[in-house]
Each structure stands twice: as C-alpha cells, then as structure tokens.
Amino acid sequence: MPNLSFVSPTRNSPWGTYLSQIDAVEPYLGHLARWVETLRRPKRALIVDIPIELDNGTIAHYEGYRVQHSLTRGPGKGGVRYHPDVTLEEVMALSAWMTIKNAAVNLPYGGAKGGIRLDPKVLSQKELEKVTRRYTSEIGIIIGPQQDIPAPDVNTNGQIMAWMMDTYSMNTGATATGVVTGKPIPLGGSLGRVQATGRGVFVIGREAMRRLNVPMEGARIAVQGFGNVGSIAAKLFAANGAKIVAVQDHTGTILNESGMDMQNLLDHLAATGGVAGFKGADKIANDDFWKVKSDVLIPAALEGQITKERAEGLSTKIVLEGANGPTTPDGDAVLADRGIIVVPDVIANSGGVTVSYFEWVQDFSSFFWTEDEINVRLDKIITGAFKHIWETSEQHRISLRTAAFVVACTRVLQAREERGLYP
C-alpha cells in the first residue's frame, strides 16, 4: 500500500512509532488482518487557521488540528493540547493511540485528538480564551456529543473545556454539556476526573507490581513529568508505602535517596510551578535522572523520552507509561532485551478517558455519581482490562504493549468487519 502523502514519519517519530506497533500486532489478528490497513490511515484530519487579535492590537495566526483516527466503535474521544511543538503527525499518532486505548479498555469510543501549535505561557488569559473559542468554532463542524468529544491534555484544563463547551453551545443554540469532558463540576464535570489519569497509573502500577512480586512497601519510584498525571500518581504511590526518590519536570531534576516528603513537594510545586529549588531533595543533572536506581519508572511527560541510549542506561524493573508514547520503538527493543517490563500507555494512563466516559454518561442522563462510586467503577474497569491484557501477553508470549494492541485491534477490526464498507 502507498504511504500517506501528508506526513513523512521516521522509525522513532510519533506516527512511525504507531505504525511499527501495528506491524507487530498484525501476525496475531488472524482473518481480521485483511482489514488492518484501516488502522494505518486516519479517517479524517482537519487543519484550521486560528486568527485572533492580541491584547496589543496585532493579529496573530495559529495552526490548529483535529484528527479522528477511527469512529468505528463510537464517537471520537481524545484530548486537545496546546504546545509549540504540536504537528499534524503528532496529533495523528495521539488520535490513533486513543483508538487503541478506548478499545483496550472496551469503552464505546473511537480515537481522536486535537492540538494548537502555540506556547500558552506567552498568551494572556483573554488571548487564550479567544484562541480556544475560535478553534472550537473552526472544528465545530466535526465535533459534538455523539460525533467527537474533546478533553484536556497537555497545557489545557477545565477552564479551556468550559470555553469550548460554551462556544459549541452558542453555535448550536442549546447547552451541550456532553460535547467535552474534563469540565468544571458546575458545568456537568465529574467528580474524580482531575485525579483520574494519575489514579489509573497508580492502580495499574500496583497490579503490575503484584504480578511481578515487587513489594509496594519501600519501593523506589522515579517520576518524569510532575503535572496532573505524575504528581497524583506519585502522591498515591507514597501514600501506599512507596518512596519517591527522583522527580524531573521542565524546571529541573531532584533526587532524595530516602524518599521525598510528598506534601512538602506538592506545596513547593503549587508555590513555584516546578520541582526546581525544592529544599527536601538534591538537584542533579537532567541526564542523570535516567540512571537513578528504581523499582518503577514513570515517564509522565511527553512522547519519545525513552530512546535507545536512555533505555540502555536505565536501572529499573518496571516502566509504567503515564504519558502517551514515551518509549520509542528502539527504546522498547532495548528494554525487552534487558528484561525490563513495560506497562504500555494505552492501559497505564487509561484512567483519564475512563472517567471522561463516566462524565459523558452522567451528562447524558443528568444523573451524577459520588466520587467513591466513580473510583470503585474506575478500578474495576481498568484492573479487568489489565488482567485481560496480561493473560493475552502470557498466552502468546508477547510484550504487554503488543498484547494491548492485540486486544484493542481485534475489537476495532471486528467492529469494522461487522459494519462492512459503505456504500
């Protein structure tokens, strides 16, 4: 089959990484392999121009994207990120991983993702609102509560979702709370949604440690990325007896061999916006983070972090992927050779989209659950999904990542086969 003309992936670039994961799963798909090419092509990719008037009166233009990789099993679902390095290829890969993630957890969604190529830190709140509203209007032709439901991602939050919901509602003439998830609670948001991704990382990490006989008490945890996902996962690991020995974020890297005081670190983070300068730990070089001895390493920042070179130097038992696509194919191969277990992103960080699903269901029914109910349902769904993936891995003697893809791709392609081709 000819390659797509609008991206030029390399082996370790985001779309290249995804394609290699599909190649690895193809031998396990049986008769469904005849449909596999659908997974290598996004259903729809929309590129939009976002012009706004800045506070100083000049006109600025930003590039925006919304990619719907697959809508075979239900409406699209996936976040929107604001980052200067956002590209069409990155958003395509993230939307494809959402297809896999939703199917791996068996949520009734397809995969989608969005992004705007900008640095939100240099915009005022008013400029950010203008960008968000114009972007929402531009992609409004393909999103909706039963078409495609955005959510927060890198550098976006509940406020951004509130503006998106309001803009879509104004344009359609009716309040549509279900058009986005990750909203503030007064606008139909769900309890537990903000903590859900980090909580899911902890729950899946706990299950993996149990199966690999790695005791939680005193376990050494290293975390890269200390935003919503990394900080909440770290807090839960510490609360259950583990030690957070190393943390890296955009401000620097810190180390405390006997474990950090999480509350003090979270207070420092809230006050300063980063982990740099934290008194309860020593500063170390950023590259040294990858050499810290740990039982569990949680990459919870951006994709492409665990390269071949870094994988060769890691001293850990389990890589628990809090971010999307943090391990390159070359890095994956090295970790497999070294016997380091990788718990893949599509199950490890699926807590966020699972509680987004709960939020969407609550919005449709206008009936809301308690936080305890949400956490119990979250734990049950993702631990069940992880058990199925673990058993698939043992059955075929394949990595957890390939097993997750076997489970997910089988579900997507079965649905594709049952639906057939229109017209």
Positions annotated as catalytic residues are: 113
Distance between CA atoms of residues 100 and 405, nearest Å: 7
CA nearest 163: which of 231, 82, 233, 104? 82
Q: Report how far apart the first and last C-alpha atoms of the chain are (Å, whole number).
A: 22
Q: What angle do CA 224, 82, 143 make, to 5 degrees?
A: 120
Distance CA 202, CA 198 (A): 6
Tokens representing 276 are 């740099």
Q: Which of 226, 219, 215, 217 is nearest to 251 (CA)?
A: 226
| Buried b or exposed e, range 228-240, using 16+ CB within 10 angstroms | bbbbbbbbbbbee
Size (the chain), residues: 423
Give one DSSP letter per residue of 259-323, joined into a string: ---HHHHHHHHHHHSSSTT-TTSEEE-GGGGGGSB-SEEEE-S-SS-B-HHHHHH-B-SEEE--S
Give the Cα separation of 355 and 384 in Å (integer): 15
